[in-house]
């Protein structure tokens, strides 16, 4: 590593395990995991600029090739930079691929471009590179040092969130299963399933959870987000309408879900089949 100059925003969480904060149109935690002979990156940013910044961060710590790209879920702020790492193998949940191919991928890119007018043309120019190796349950990636398990724990922020636990490092990359820059974003989410999914994540023997956005958090933080979704679910299950649920919602839920609370209630009623 002599002579190398780490770039700004790069944090070594464990030996060869880095969080790189991409300061793009959307600030994102990308992961860089250095194995014995190859590197895996976790999420790639929204634009070519983001991907190139991540590549530069990789080059500031190692000359090993980036052989794997892992997407924590399909959202464009996590996957649109994939193409710039090819011919790396892109890994993700089977439904992550489905959401990024064909007309669904095209629509998602258009939606992201519409939401981010300052980067609209850059986003429209992104060649989509969906995962080409997919799985439903879990997948072990053997890198020698810093081997890892990619695990689907249930629906939550989307229907294809995975978490990545790095062997013996005490670090797990959680994607948007956990957010600390703001409340969890629920528009594609499953509020009634999010709590149980987070309980499984929190059961991992991990000291540092890297959220999709924001500072690294601990197990207490994960448990608090789980608790908020569980409480919201309990209140919604007893209510007849979203308005009734909002009226009965305790303060503790608003403290965690903040301005996403109403959207989470709405999504609950859209995604849960209730006895009539
Ligand atoms: Zn997301």
DSSP string, 206-224: -SEEEESSSS-B-HHHHHH
Cα 44 from chain centre: 11
pLDDT for 153 equals 98
- Per-residue model confidence as pLDDT tens digits over 129-183: 999 999 999 999 999 999 999 999 999 999 999 999 999 999 999 999 999 999 9
pLDDT confidence bin for 5, thresholds 50/70/90: confident
pLDDT, one tens digit per residue, over 191-207 is 999 999 999 999 998 99
Say how many Å lie between the first and final Cα of the chain, rounded: 64
- Chain length of the chain: 276
**How many angstroms separate the alpha carbon of residue 191 from the centre of ligand 1?**
14
Encoded tokens for 272: 């849960």
Residue 276 pLDDT class (50, 70, 90 cuts): low
CA pseudo-torsion sign 231, 232, 234, 239: positive
Question: What is the distance in A from the centroid of ligand 1 to the CA of 100?
Answer: 13
- How far is the centre of ligand 1, averaged over its atoms, from the C-alpha of 5 (Å)? 31
Which of 251, 145, 155 shows the shortest CA–CA distance to 196?
155
Q: How far apart are CA 80 and CA 109, in angstroms?
A: 8
Q: Give the whole-angstrom CA distance, residue 181 versus residue 28.
A: 10
235 C-alpha to center of ligand 1: Å? 25
Chain Cα centroid distance, residue 7:
22
Tell me the pLDDT band of 274, cut-offs 50, 70 and 90.
confident
> What CA–CA distances, in Å, run from 263 to 75, 174, 175, 243, 257?
18, 22, 20, 11, 10
Chain position carrying tokens 């958090």: 217
CA of 3 to the centre of ligand 1 (A): 36
How far apart are the CA of 73 and the centre of ligand 1, in A? Answer: 7
Specify the pLDDT at position 188: 96
Does residue 228 have a pLDDT over 90?
yes
Residue 3 has pLDDT above 60, yes or no: no
Give the Å distance between the CA of 113 and the centre of ligand 1: 15
Is 251 buried (19+), middle (13-18) or exposed (0-12) by CB count in 10 A? exposed
Span 217-236, average pLDDT = 98
How high is the pLDDT of residue 205?
86
Helices 261-271 and 219-238 meet at what angle, rounded to 10? 60
User: For residue 20, what pLDDT is reported?
Assistant: 98
Write the pLDDT tens digit of every residue in 10-68. 999 999 999 999 999 999 999 999 999 999 999 999 999 999 999 999 999 999 999 99
Place of tokens 């669904």: 104
Give phi and psi for 47, each to the nearest 5: -135, 175
CB atoms within 10 A of CB 15: 10
pLDDT digits (tens, 9 = 90+) for 98-139: 999 999 999 999 999 999 999 999 999 999 999 999 999 999
**What residue ranges define each of the domains in the chain, with the CATH number in brackets?**
10-271 (3.60.15.10)
What is the whole-number distance in angstroms between the Cα of residue 1 and the centre of ligand 1? Answer: 33
């Amino acid at each position: 590593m002599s002579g190398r100059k780490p770039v700004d925003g790069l944090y070594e969480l464990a030996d060869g395990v880095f969080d790189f904060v991409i300061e793009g149109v959307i600030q994102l935690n990308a992961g860089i995991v250095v194995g014995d002979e190859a590197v895996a990156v976790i999420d790639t940013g929204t634009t070519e600029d983001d991907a190139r910044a991540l590549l530069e961060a990789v080059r500031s710590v190692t000359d090993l090739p980036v052989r794997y790209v892992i997407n924590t879920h399909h959202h464009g702020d996590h996957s649109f930079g994939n193409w710039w790492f090819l011919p790396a193998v892109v890994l993700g949940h089977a439904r992550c691929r489905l959401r990024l191919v064909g007309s669904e991928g095209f629509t998602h890119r258009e939606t992201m471009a519409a939401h981010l007018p300052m980067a609209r043309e850059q986003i429209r120019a992104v060649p989509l590179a969906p995962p080409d190796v997919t799985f439903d349950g879990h997948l072990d990636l053997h890198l020698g040092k810093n081997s890892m398990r990619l695990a689907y724990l249930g629906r939550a922020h989307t229907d294809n969130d995975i978490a990545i636990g790095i062997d013996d490092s005490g670090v797990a990359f959680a994607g948007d299963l956990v957010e600390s820059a703001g409340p969890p974003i629920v528009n594609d989410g499953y509020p009634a399933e999010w709590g149980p999914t987070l309980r499984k994540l929190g059961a991992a023997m991990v000291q540092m959870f890297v959220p999709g956005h924001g500072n690294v958090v601990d197990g207490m933080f994960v448990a608090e987000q789980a608790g908020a979704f569980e409480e919201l679910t309990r209140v919604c299950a007893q209510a007849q309408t979203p308005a009734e649920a909002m009226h009965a919602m305790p303060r503790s839920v608003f403290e965690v879900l903040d301005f996403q609370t109403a959207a989470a209630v709405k999504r609950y009623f859209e995604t849960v089949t209730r006895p009539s």
